[in-house]
Amino acid sequence: MAGKNLYDTLGIKKDATDKDIKQAYRRLARKHHPDVNPGDKSAEAKFKGINAAYEILSDKEKRQKYDKYGDKWQYADQFEQAAQQQAQYRQYSPEDGSSYHFGRDIGGMDSIFEQLFGSGRGLGGSRRSQPRRGQDLESQVEVTLEEAYSGTSRTINLQGEEPCHACHGSGQIQNLPCSVCRGSGVVASMNRLEVKIPAGVTTGSRVRISGKGQPSYNNAANGDLYLNITVSPHPAFERQGDDLNTTISVPLTVAVLGGEVQVPTLKGKLALKIPLETQNGRIFRLAGQGMPHLGKSIKGDLLAKVNAILPTKLSEKEKELFRQLSQLHPA
């Protein structure tokens, strides 16, 4: 979603209420759902974008981060930490009018990254060499709703750099540029890494794999690998937080007289008792049959909406029975 305004994606204003967001999402999701537009790749892409926007804007914490940092909202915790560190720096001005500056100012997001991963300034603004932490790496990962429900794994190909072994990252051998890395101190690397994706991830989830980013320099800590998760749309379920919505087809006779139907879930089918005279559109809540909450043992619910199926190709006898019914229950 980098570079896209999530509010524009849903066609709403920045001060939209939670109700506005939900209504816009439902309207657009119905319009661009793959089942409504079979084979239309453009509609499928829009549907994914709509889902991604809703996952962020419907979550209070994610929305606050997005409103503050835009498409870099996933780095919000790092920005806040860097800002706290900068708040500890103070400027001291003696009576002679001279001044000493401790630390350096944060001039924007680029400066924050420099502060986090680069070298700092000492007393009086002089630079001092410090161990440099390895760079973080990002990888985009798409999973199915079933994989998000159970958890899964992926093999990631990581393209990056590592310190040149010939010159130990210095870029020089005997005061001459290293011929292996051409004086850069680093060489290209390719690593295959199997990573675990926990159950409960949503579109917009960011899974941190500690120490699996770029190697460090001067014995500092390695960077981290971040998996940016997208959950692909599902033809039978609509996800809202940890809850799942689905529609169940109920024969008219079962809706009127009561009975039992099968309800699909992400781990198989469940039998659901339909009470006598169940109205079309009624929603049954199946507790604990939704999505697991990321990092917790609790699960959301499955909301099954009744879609009463009217019979077709009626025989004359069946038509006559409906005529008799209409006389008993006139409109």
Reduce the DSSP state of residue 63 to 3 states and report it: helix
- What pLDDT, on the 0 to 100 scale, is given for residue 107? 46
Of 203, 233, 263, the last residue of a domain is 233
Residues 145 and 118 in one domain: no
Do 148 and 202 fall within a single domain?
Answer: yes
Which of residues 193, 209, 233 is at a domain's end?
Answer: 233
- As a whole number of Å, the CA-based R_g of the chain is 29
17-26, 132-141, 146-155: range with lowest mean pLDDT:
132-141
Which has more pLDDT, 38 or 90? 38
Residue 308 domain-assigned (yes or no): yes
* Co-location of 209 and 253 in the same domain: no
E-assigned strand segments in 200-242:
206-209, 225-231, 238-240
- Indicate whether 272 belongs to any domain: yes
CA–CA gap between residue 131 and residue 324 (Å, rounded):
88
Q: Please give the distance of CA 220 from its chain centroid, rounded to a whole number.
A: 30
233: burial class by Cβ within 10 Å (0-12, 13-18, 19+)? buried
What pLDDT band is residue 96 in, cutting at 50, 70 and 90? Answer: very low
Residues 195, 152 within the same domain: yes
Query: Which of 90 and 169 is assigned the larger pLDDT?
Result: 169
Where among 189, 208, 233 does a domain terminate? 233
- Taking alpha carbons only, the member of 300, 242, 233, 282 closest to residue 29 is 233
Residue 13, in any domain of the structure: no
The model's pLDDT over 77-88, given as tens digits with 9 standing for 90+, comes to 777 766 654 444
131: confidence class by pLDDT, cuts 50, 70, 90: low
Measured in whole angstroms, how far is the alpha carbon of residue 108 from the centre of its chain?
A: 25
Q: Are residues 144 and 198 in the same domain?
A: yes
Domains of the chain: total: 3
What are the backbone angles phi and psi of residue 87, rounded to the nearest 5°? -65, -20
Q: Are residues 88 and 108 in the same domain?
A: yes
CA distance linking residue 319 with residue 326, whole number of Å: 10
87: containing domain: 76-128
The verdict on residue 115 lying in a domain is: yes
Calpha distance 181→188 (Å, rounded): 9
% of residues, the chain, pLDDT over 90: 44
Phi and psi, residue 3, nearest 5°? 85, -10
149: alpha, beta or left? (left if phi > 0; alpha if psi -120 to 50): alpha
- The pLDDT, as a whole number, for residue 246 is 97
What's residue 245's pLDDT? 97
Q: Which residues of 134-171 are buried (b: 16+ CB within 10 A; e: fewer)?
A: bbbbebebebebebbbeebeeebeeebbbbbeebebeb
pLDDT tens per residue, range 33-67:
887 888 888 888 888 889 888 989 999 999 998 89
Token digits of residue 224 = 């981290």
208 with 295, same domain: the answer is no
199 with 285, same domain: the answer is: no
Note whether 242 and 214 are same-domain residues: no
Most confident of 36-40, 110-114, 216-220: 36-40
pLDDT surpassing 90 at residue 189: no
* 207 bridge partner residues: 227
> For residue 189, what are the β-bridge partners?
160
Q: What is the mean pLDDT of residues 312-331?
A: 88
Residue carrying the six token digits 């989830």? 205
Residue 268 within any structural domain of the chain: yes
**Residue 60 resides in a domain:** no
Of 110-124, 142-156, 298-312, the least confident: 110-124
3-state secondary structure of 179: coil
Predicted pLDDT at 285:
97
Q: Which residues pair with 244 in a beta bridge?
A: 239, 302
Strand (E) or helix (H) holding 178: none
Name 175's Cβ contacts closer than 8 Å, sequence gap at least 6.
Answer: none
Please state the φ and ψ torsions of residue 92, each to the nearest 5 degrees.
-110, 125
CB atoms within 10 A of CB 108: 9
Average confidence score pLDDT of the chain: 81
223-273 pLDDT per residue, tens: 899 999 999 999 999 999 999 999 999 999 999 999 999 999 999 999 999
Indicate if 148 and 227 belong to the same structural domain: yes
275 pLDDT band, cuts 50/70/90, is: very high
